[in-house]
Amino acid sequence: MATPATVDTSSLLQLITDCCYLQARESYQQLLVENNLPDSWLPEDETEAASIKRALERAKECAEVLKDMTVEGESGINSSWIHATTHFGITCHYQLGDDGIVMVRMEGKMTDLPLFEQAAVIHEVEFFKTWIPFCNDSHKVDKIGFADLVAYISLFIPPIGRDTIIYAWAADCLREASKIIISGKSVPSWPNGATKPTGWFQDTMDVKTFLAVIDVTNSTSARTTIVAKVDPRTILPHSLINFVVRNLAGFMLYFFQLKVKDVIKHPDCEHAKCIRENTHFYRDWLKPKLEGFCKVKGWDPPVIPYFE
């Protein structure tokens, strides 16, 4: 049996850094076998151990998400989902939970929308307020690694205001399923992050579930599915809130499409400026990842003009 000092975890930790959690789980299991280690083994270094434990938990969630959201037939929707609306090629379904809060599922094809620019619109939290309906404030609270973000988001539907702090992480499942997964939920607090004081018309909403699965079909298109469950914490009847959510949820993907198209058309826009300035994330990490995936799939490489 290998001693803790002789176990080389460098490849495993690199996969974790790259957010390849399913590959990291494979690497971890191979590490156990090659070094004759028990199934519960973790390195003595507390930081490494915490990183590996978190990666294994995320790998489990990714596997469950991919299983649950596997497309079955054309719609990919089972009988537990009820059709709500279809607008602009975006379909919205919903389920009503035992707590009376609706869970919505939005699906739409993103055609002629390069994945690089899609990633920029998702990553630049500060500009959510420029395209998400009713979002009047948004900013990045913290960033951990390449794809772990803590964000503040505020919504205002007169006269009601709701805000929250969300922790979200992304997983690269391109090798296994040609998909990117984003998972997030509200956190009660975060250093340097605060919600507004509560009052008659202002409260903190609870994002119980946020899942986005981006199924990459080529270098310029994807099919995106978003599942969300939000408790707005309001005295208004759940039936009214659920009606509004069912009818408005699909528009989020529509406005996302419009924003990505706007970024493509305007190379000097605020998103493009962030892309050029944050070379560590966009040029050195995201760009090679997308180009490598397209090469494996035999697709034309994505056109990424920002660093020429």
Write down the pLDDT at residue 110: 86
Asked if residue 85 has pLDDT above 90, the reply is no
Q: Which domains does the chain show, CATH number per domain?
A: 4-68 (no CATH), 82-297 (3.30.530.20)
Q: Sorting pLDDT into bands at 50, 70 and 90, what band is 74?
A: very low
Per-residue pLDDT tens digits for 218-230? 988 899 999 999 9
Q: Sorting pLDDT into bands at 50, 70 and 90, what band is 80?
A: confident
More confident residue, 88 or 284: 284
Per-residue pLDDT tens digits for 100-138? 788 899 999 888 889 999 999 999 999 999 999 999 999
Beta bridge partners of 211: 183, 227
Asked if residue 142 has pLDDT above 60, the reply is yes
In percent, the amount of the chain with pLDDT more than 90 equals 69
Asked if residue 234 has pLDDT above 90, the reply is no
Write down the pLDDT at residue 77: 62
Q: Sorting pLDDT into bands at 50, 70 and 90, what band is 17?
A: very high
Instruction: For the chain, give the mean pLDDT.
Output: 90
Write down the pLDDT at residue 4: 55
Write down the pLDDT at residue 72: 44
- The pTM of this model reads 0.92
